[in-house]
């Protein structure tokens, strides 16, 4: 396809989206009070957070300048990974540049062709993107209906007894505000010999002891294979992380 015809096709598709009232319009009014953000604790505007960021920029600069595997990790990143692992009750943690990039990097590294991902139907788009990049078979279930998860686990094990199964679920759903039935999900995953990746992005900082999330709230940390979180939202900064056993983190590196 020639560039001109490709541009014409893009314009046609955009026009159709506009006619269907599906065009995305960015808000321009800046004097309104926002009830749409996830800065739950207001830390992104806290003077101590801003001052710490300014000092870090002055000391380390605005870029890592090289990949971690080439130049080694930033000392502050190592301290943060240690602190996050302690906070989440795991052996290790690994930082990512954003919350979105965390599942996009983690899920394809864990499962692939011949494996199966069981993902809750209302999960965030980043979890679906990570699943699609993995080449694993993707099936969806209702987070509040453990019987649907059990049905998928049973059928998956029957059809593919040797393949790995990764269950991916959000502890606290961002739009509905409901909490996943973690105890039942963990029981089912243990019975099936599956793995569980728990996304605590919206629970971190606001739920559980010291804001450690629902895994800590219910005392289930040791039964969850991987916990994923963000440094945005309640923590008021930028970045993402996964917390797990040392062997898993070594594999992801």
* Residue listed under structure tokens 């943060």: 80
* Domain harbouring 225, CATH code: 3.40.640.10
Please report whether residue 130 resides in a domain: yes
How would residue 228 be classed by pLDDT, with cut points 50, 70 and 90?
A: very high
Mean pLDDT of 119-125: 92
d(CA 104, CA 128): 9
Q: What is the mean pLDDT of residues 240-252?
A: 96
Residue 66 in domain: no
- Within a domain: 91: yes
- Pairing relation of β-strands 165-170 and 137-141? unpaired
More confident site: 11 or 130: 130
Whether the pLDDT of residue 112 is over 60: the answer is yes
- The residue annotated as part of the active site, out of 81, 120, 170, 225, is 170
Res 232: pLDDT: 94
Active site (annotated) includes residue 18: no
pLDDT bin (cut points 50, 70, 90) of residue 37 is confident
The residues with which 241 forms a beta bridge, in sequence order, are 95, 229
Looking at every residue in the chain, the average pLDDT score rounds to 91
**202 among known catalytic residues:** yes
Q: Identify the CA nearest to 90 among candidates 190, 222, 228.
A: 222
Cα–Cα distances in Å, from 117 out to 39, 152, 165, 171?
30, 10, 6, 17
List 164, 174, 223, 237, catalytic entry: 174
pLDDT tens, residue by residue, 159-194: 888 899 999 999 998 888 889 999 999 999 999 999
Query: Exposure pattern of 4-37 as b/e (b: 16+ CB <10 Å)?
Result: eeeeeeeeeeeeeeeeeeeeeeeeeeeeeeeeee
Catalytic status, residue 160: no
* Active-site residue, 233 included: yes
Residue 18 within any structural domain of the chain: no
| 43 has pLDDT over 80 | yes
Q: What integer is the mean pLDDT of 119-148?
A: 93
Q: What is the pLDDT of residue 99?
A: 94
* pLDDT of the residue at 219: 95
Indicate which residue of 81, 115, 120, 199 is catalytic: 199
Which is nearest to 240 in space by CA: 225, 253, 228?
228
Average pLDDT for 74-79: 89
Q: How confident is the model at residue 83 (pLDDT cuts 50, 70, 90)?
A: very high
Q: Is 150 an annotated catalytic residue?
A: no
Contact indicator for 194, 152 with CB cutoff of 8 Å:
no
Is residue 217 among the annotated active site residues? no
Q: Which of 88, 124, 173, 189 is catalytic?
A: 124
Catalytic residue among 44, 134, 202, 225: 202
Distance CA 82, CA 86 (A): 6
Mean pLDDT value across residues 79-87: 96
Domain hosting 174: range is 77-252
| 25 in a structural domain | no
The answer to whether residue 140 scores a pLDDT higher than 70 is yes
Q: How far is Cα 112 from Cα 76, in angstroms, rounded to an integer? A: 33
Residue 168: which H helix or E strand, with range? strand 165-170
What is the total count of domains within the chain? 1
124 carries an active-site annotation: yes
Asked if residue 56 is part of any domain, the answer here is no
Per-residue pLDDT at 4? 65
Distance, in Å, from the CA atom of 96 to the CA atom of 103, rounded to the nearest integer, reads 10
Please give the DSSP secondary-structure letter assigned to residue 218: T
Q: Would 24 be classed as within a structural domain?
A: no
Tell me if 140 is assigned to some domain: yes
Q: How confident is the model at residue 18 (pLDDT cuts 50, 70, 90)?
A: confident
């Amino acid at each position: 396809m020639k560039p001109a015809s490709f541009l014409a096709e893009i314009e046609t598709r955009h026009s159709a989206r506009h006619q269907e009232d599906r065009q995305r319009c960015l808000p321009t009014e800046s004097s309104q009070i926002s009830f749409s953000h996830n800065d739950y604790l207001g830390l992104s505007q806290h003077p101590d957070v801003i001052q710490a960021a300014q000092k870090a920029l002055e000391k380390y600069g605005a870029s890592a300048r090289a990949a971690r595997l080439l130049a080694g990790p930033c000392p502050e990143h190592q301290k943060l990974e240690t602190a996050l692992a302690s906070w989440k009750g795991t052996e290790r943690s690994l930082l990512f540049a954003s919350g979105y990039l965390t599942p996009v990097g983690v899920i394809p590294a864990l499962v692939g062709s011949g494996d199966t991902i069981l993902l809750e139907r209302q999960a965030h788009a980043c979890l679906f993107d990570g699943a699609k990049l993995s080449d694993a078979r993707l099936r969806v279930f209702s987070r509040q209906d453990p019987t649907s998860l059990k049905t998928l686990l049973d059928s998956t094990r029957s059809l593919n007894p040797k393949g790995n199964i990764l269950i991916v679920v959000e502890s606290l759903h961002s739009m509905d505000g409901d909490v996943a039935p973690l105890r039942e999900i963990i029981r089912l995953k243990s019975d099936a010999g599956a793995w569980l990746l728990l996304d605590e992005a919206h629970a971190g900082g606001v739920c559980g002891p010291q804001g450690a999330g629902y895994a800590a709230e219910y005392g289930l940390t040791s039964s969850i294979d991987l916990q994923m979180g963000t440094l945005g939202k309640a923590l008021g900064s930028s970045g993402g992380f996964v917390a797990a056993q040392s062997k898993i983190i070594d594999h992801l590196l």
